[in-house]
A and B are shown apart, each in its own frame.
Chain A
Amino acid sequence: MSALVSPDIINLCRKNDRKAQRQVYEKLFASSMRVCKRYCNGTEEAMEVLNTAFLKVFTQLDKYGGKGSFEGWVHRIMVNTSLDHLREEKKHHSHFIYPEKMDDVPDEETDELEYNDIELDSLYRMIGELPPVSRLVFNLYVFENFSHTEIGRELGISVGTSKWHLSFARKFLREKVKAVYQKAQ
């Protein structure tokens, strides 16, 4: 995959060249917005996180030493900024009621679902309705390809806790998808 952003543009961005910054912002907008929308609850919130992350990108551009792809570096900042944002969601989700016991979480279902008709915004909304930690584990496991061990190490939780959050997220989403599908039928 060819680089979306050339080194020359990056150098111009270091000099606070607005045109170059806009070019970077525009080229990386789609991929970055995808990340933010997955971690956030709603497009507006995702835009806020995305802009905060881009602000970090442009103000900390000197830290990018040219090793590795620039897009990957930006992606990492997007994820980290989203994680920071998730921390702040604690107060907004403190009312969320989890099952009292982990055993209460049902086993995973493997039946196929007809989901192609479900709109993307609905899918984002479903993820956004997940509790923060479960949303985080689901995102890291499914989209960032982290293992439970890696998630546990990164987040400071046990592997079992990570698995529980993943199972909880799957069930939560499945029920949401079913509800949407049945409503569409």
Chain B
Amino acid sequence: MEEKNNMDKMFKDRLGKDNPAFKDEYWQGFEKMLEAAAPVSTAGSSSGFGKALHLMTTTKGIISIVTFVTLSTATYFYSKSLKDNQITQKVESIQAPLSFSTHPDDTIVVFSTPTGVSNPFSLSSSTTAVNVASQPGSIQTANQALSEKQTVTPSKQISNSIVSSVATPQNKKEIRSRSSNEKALIPGRNGVAIVAEGSPDEVIALKEKFSGTRTDTKQPVEKGMVNDLTGSIPGRTLPQDSSLFQYTDNQKPDAQKEEFPTGNQPIVRKDDSPPLIPAAIPADLPTAQSGAIPGLTSGIFAENKLFKLFLAAGATSYTPFGNTSGFSGTGRVGFQFGAGTWYEITKEISVLAETDYLRTSGHQLSASSESTDYLFTKWVGRVTVENREINLLHVPVLLRYRYKFHMFSAGLSLQYILSCTGEKTTVDSVRYQYKYNHEKADNYIGGFNRLTAGLTAEYSCFVFRQNAILLRYTYYLNDMLKKQYYEGIKSPKPGYLFIGLRCRIF
């Protein structure tokens, strides 16, 4: 180092001997600065709306909003689930094996159970077993209290999904039908009229039988079909000591199974006890439609429930919005995947919550200070901040409107940075390498805001059943960089464009 100038020597010698005195007030001022640097500055607009908006974007505000939304949603869904469970419990009461007791009038009530109800009469999802026995002028149906008797006329058709039966004096009849795709009113013997349900062939067979034109008297049980009375499938019969019914076609003696019951033939029980009637059927049994009865399957995510679970995955791109001057990031594409649920408030409107893991590599963010090629020199005092890789959790909570196959969603999002790597290039080209982790991200110079909140808009479209492609953009209200450390650096607010597929799994 040459030192040929006395001006250099003068300044170096004189200033080198300077010993600025330390004062307590210096430390006190700095201590305040230290304490102020810990929390994020909350200075903002003086207007009420501005303050509210600003508070919403602070960490406390974000946590408050998320907590409020979560609790409100959970409360709402819980109350809805309770209501559904009440229906479920009522309906599930028929899932238990029915108890039978003798009826003083020796009445046997036989009913057709809807598809999917797991009671002793319906072990097959495609079969309807109908068993009719009659007592003069009386009939009991499953959608009424069993103790209540109802007088019917031969032409009266009772609930088609529950029971079809007509009674005549002193006759006990048994009807078997294996499907419920056709009905017919059959004039039977002794003035009996029977509503028969079943496939065309079965209806014809029943017509033949009850009109006296039938020639064959044996009704073979097809493999896999439900046996009459017991509802059991051959090979899957009830135990021998079953207290319900004694026989199936495979078990009962030949004398018993050679004839189809034609009336005046009591239903045989193992213990030869009097004819049976079911008891304790709930009066408000819901009417079954083509599918399952709502609430029959337990669990809040059952098909009939309004909760839907889904998986989502796709490509994401760091796409800041607005002022991107100074932004020169490249290689911002990454991926994200996650899971979530939506709850249908109405057919058109639903609430959707999702949690995604998002990872992008390359330079997602490159923010620079304004060019410092000031004066007439080409000296560039450029400060650049780049984050090379980022791992975060992305949690959108959206309100969705559905129109046919199209869905439009909007709502709030949270971004929680798990970790990221960054690099800062200072004015003297000294590079600092940063590696952030959970504990240190908030304390590092040049740290990134760990928790940020944003707005999300989404369009999705069903492409196959309930699988949809979706296009989502999330714009975050907070700066990704901590401004107190990057004063003067223009940093675009983070934004992510997501293109992916959402598949319903449950």
Interface residues in chain A, defined as those with a beta carbon under 8 Å from any beta carbon in chain B: 18, 21-22, 25-26, 29-30, 33-34, 37-38, 47, 51, 54-56, 58-60, 62-63, 76, 79-80, 83-84, 86-88, 90, 93-94, 96, 98, 108, 110-113, 115, 118, 120, 123-124, 127, 131-133, 141-143, 145, 147, 153-157, 161, 165, 170, 173-174, 177
Contacts and interface: CB of A to CB of B under 8 A. Distances in A.
| Pairs A-B, 4 closest by C-beta atoms | A33-B20, A90-B374, A87-B381, A29-B22
A35 B240 CA distance: 100
A88 B374 CA distance: 10
B20 A62 contact: no
Contacts of B30: 25, 51, 54-55
Interface stretch (B192-200, B221-229, B338-346, B439-447): B439-447
B29 A51 contact: yes
B34 A21 contact: yes
Contacts of A33: 20
Interface in B450-491: 485, 488
A161 B14 contact: no
Given A60-B445, A173-B11, A156 B33 contact: no
Contacts of A170: 5, 7-8
B89 interface: no
Which of A25, A30, A87, A147 neighbours the largest number of chain B CB atoms within 10 Å of its CB?
A: A87
Contacts of B31: 18, 22
B10 A115 contact: yes
Q: Main SS of chain B's interface residues?
A: loop
B383 interface: yes
Contacts of A22: 27, 31
Interface residues on B, range: 35 or more
Nearest to A146: B1
Interface in B1-52: 1, 4-8, 10-12, 14-16, 18-22, 26-27, 29-31, 33-34, 37
A90 B1 CA distance: 30
Nearest to B37: A55
Given A29-B20, A59-B445, A157-B379, A123 B7 contact: no
B379 A133 contact: yes
A79 B430 CA distance: 12
Contacts of B14: 115, 118, 120, 123
A157 B372 CA distance: 12
Interface of B: 1, 4-8, 10-12, 14-16, 18-22, 26-27, 29-31, 33-34, 37, 369, 372, 374-381, 383, 426-430, 432, 440, 443-445, 485, 488
Contacts of A127: 11
Given A127-B11, A173-B7, A174-B7, A55 B380 contact: no
A164 to B, nearest CB: 9
Contacts of B378: 156-157, 161
Given A59-B37, A154-B428, A156-B429, A34 B27 contact: no
B372 A87 contact: yes
Given A76-B430, A123-B14, A124-B15, 10 more contacts: A30-B22, A34-B15, A55-B30, A62-B444, A79-B428, A84-B426, A113-B10, A118-B14, A145-B1, A154-B429
A25 B341 CA distance: 54
A110 B426 contact: no
